[in-house]
Amino acid sequence: MVSSTNESPVPGGDIPRQELINDAVIRLAGNSQDGIQTIGGFLARLAGRSDQDVITYMTIPSTISGGPSIFQVRIGTGEVLSAGDQADFLVAFYQHSYEAHIGSLREGGVLIYDTDHVKPNLDDKRFVNFGVAITGLTIEAMGGAAKDKGKNMFTLGLLARMFSLQVDKLRALVTERFGGKDEGILRSALVAFDAGFAYPADSALKRYFKFAEAETPNARPQVTMDGNQAIAYALVAAGVRYGAAYPITPWTSIMEILRAELPKYGGIFVQAEDELAASSLAIGAAYAGHLAVTGSSGPGISLKQEMLGWAVMAEIPLIVINIQRGGPSTGLPTNVEQSDLMQAIYGSHGDAPRVVLAPRNVEDCFHTALEACRIAREYSVPVVILSDQSLATRIEAFDEPDLDAVFVPPSLDLRPRSADFKPYALDRITQHAPPGTRFEGTYPTVSGLEHDEAGHPTANPAMHMKMTAKRREKLKKLAATLERPEIFGEQEGDTLLVGWGSTWGPIREAVRRGRAEGMKIGQVHIRHIHPLPPELERIFSRFRQIFVVEMNDEGLYGFGQLASLLRARYALPNIRSITKTDGLTFKVREILEGVRRLGGDAVSTFSLYPDL
Amino acid sequence: MSTGTLDTPAPRPPLTRKDLRADHPTWCPGCGDFAVLASFHRVLEKMQLPHERIVTLAGIGCSSRFPYFVNSHGGHFIHGRALPFASGVSLSRDDLHVFVFGGDGDGFSIGGNHLQHAGRKNIKMTYVIMDNSVYGLTKKQTSPTSPIGFKSKTDTTGAFDRPINPMNTLLASGATFVARSHATQVNHMVEMFERAMKHDGFSVIEILSECVEFFPGAFDTSVPRKGGSFVAIEEKRGDGSPEDANRHDPTNLESAFALANEQWPGVFGVFYQVNRPTKNALEAGLIAKARERTKGASDLDLLRATFNRLR
CB atoms within 10 A of CB A599: 16
Is pTM beyond 0.80? Reply is: yes
- Residues of chain A with C-beta less than 8 angstroms from the C-beta of B117: 272-273, 277
Per-residue pLDDT at A219 = 81
Q: What ipTM was assigned to the predicted interfaces of this complex?
A: 0.96
> With contact defined as beta carbons under 8 Å apart, do A444 and A423 qualify?
yes
Per-residue pLDDT at A16 = 57
- Please name which of A201, A413, A385 lies closest in space to residue A288, comparing C-alpha atoms: A413
Confidence of residue B92 (pLDDT cuts 50, 70, 90): very high
For Cα atoms B290, A269, A309, give the angle at the middle one, nearest 5 degrees.
Answer: 160
Provide the Cα torsion A447, A451, A454, A456; round to 10°: -70
Sign of CA dihedral B208, B209, B213, B219: positive
Per-residue pLDDT at A603 = 43
CA–CA min distance A269, chain B (Å) = 9
Per-residue pLDDT at A308 = 98
Rg (CA), chain B: 21
Which of A265, A282, A414 is facing B302, going by the closest CB pair?
A265
Asked whether the bond before A531 is cis by omega within 30 degrees of 0, the reply is: yes
Q: How far apart are CA B174 and CA B118, in angstroms?
A: 8
> With contact defined as beta carbons under 8 Å apart, do A316 and A307 qualify?
no
| Residues of chain A under the 50 pLDDT cut | 5-12, 602-609, 612
E strand intervals along A214-297: 222-226, 242-245, 268-271, 292-296
Which of B3, B85, B283 is facing A268, going by the closest CB pair?
B283
Sign of CA dihedral A182, A188, A194, A196: negative
Q: Between B112-121 and A275-287, two packed helices, what is the crossing angle to 10 degrees? A: 70
Per-residue pLDDT at A2 = 53
DSSP assignment letter at A15 = -
DSSP assignment letter at A144 = G
Q: How far apart are CA B104 and CA B129, in angstroms?
A: 6
Residue A81's Cβ-count burial label (10 Å; 0-12, 13-18, 19+) is buried
Q: How far apart are CA A75 and CA A225, in angstroms?
A: 14
CA–CA min distance B202, chain A (Å) = 16
Q: How many CA atoms lie within 13 A of B238 on its CB side?
A: 3
Asked whether the bond before A328 is cis by omega within 30 degrees of 0, the reply is: yes
3-state secondary structure chain B: CECCCCCCCCCCCCCCHHHHECCCCCCCCCCCHHHHHHHHHHHHHHHCCCHHHEEEEECCCCHHHHHHHECCEEEECCCCCHHHHHHHHHHHCCCCEEEEEEEHHHHHHHCHHHHHHHHHHCCCEEEEEEECCEECCCCCEECCCCCCCCCCCCCCCCCCCCCCCHHHHHHHCCCCEEEEEECCCHHHHHHHHHHHHHCCCEEEEEEECCECCCECCCCHHHCHHHCCCCEECCECCCCCCHHHHHCECCCCHHHHHHHHCCCCCCEEEEEEECCCCCHHHHHHHHHHHHHHHCCCCCHHHHHHHHHHHCC
DSSP assignment letter at A318 = E
pLDDT at B8 exceeding the cut of 70? no
> With contact defined as beta carbons under 8 Å apart, do A511 and A489 qualify?
yes
* CB pairs < 8 Å spanning A and B: 208
Q: How far apart are CA A154 and CA A148, in angstroms?
A: 11
Which of B8, B74, B114 is facing A445, going by the closest CB pair?
B74
- Residues of chain B with C-beta less than 8 angstroms from the C-beta of A442: 22, 71
> With contact defined as beta carbons under 8 Å apart, do B63 and B56 qualify?
no
Contact B74 A446 (CB under 8 A): yes
Which of B67, B86, B307 is facing A284, going by the closest CB pair?
B86
CA–CA min distance B20, chain A (Å) = 9
What is the H or E stretch that residue A54 is in?
strand A53-59
pLDDT digit string, tens, across residues B105-120:
999 999 999 999 999 9
Per-residue pLDDT at A18 = 83
Q: Which range has the worst mean pLDDT, A211-220, A398-407, B234-243, B277-286? A: A211-220
pLDDT digit string, tens, across residues A325-377:
999 999 999 999 999 999 999 999 999 999 999 999 999 999 999 999 999 99
- Coil, strand or helix at A447: strand
Residue A285 amino acid letter: A
Confidence of residue B65 (pLDDT cuts 50, 70, 90): very high
CB atoms within 10 A of CB A212: 17
Q: How far apart are CA A287 and CA B55, in angstroms?
A: 11
What are the percentages of helix, strand and coil residues in chain A, rounded to 5? 40, 25, 40
- Please name which of A522, A515, A524, A506 lies closest in space to residue A590, comparing C-alpha atoms: A506
What is the average pLDDT across B5-15? 64
Q: How far apart are CA A577 and CA A563, in angstroms?
A: 6
Q: Which residue of A has its CA nearest to B72?
A: A443
What is the average pLDDT across B1-29? 73
Q: How far apart are CA B114 and CA B85, in angstroms?
A: 10
> Which residues 30-69 of B have a C-beta within 8 angstroms of A?
51-53, 55, 57, 67-68
Q: Which residue of B has its CA nearest to A444?
A: B73
Per-residue pLDDT at B217 = 96
> With contact defined as beta carbons under 8 Å apart, do B230 and B185 qualify?
yes
Q: How far apart are CA A487 and CA A293, in angstroms?
A: 33
Cα–Cα distance list, A438 to A253, A443, A507, B4 (Å): 39, 8, 54, 10
What is the average pLDDT across B249-275? 97
Provide the Cα torsion B291, B294, B296, B301; round to 10°: -120
Sign of CA dihedral A438, A441, A447, A451: negative
Q: Which residue of B has its CA nearest to A275?
A: B84
Residue B4 near chain A (CB below 8 Å): yes
E strand intervals along A332-380: 355-357
DSSP assignment letter at A412 = B
Cα–Cα distance list, A582 to A203, A509, A557, A587, B208 (Å): 41, 20, 20, 11, 57
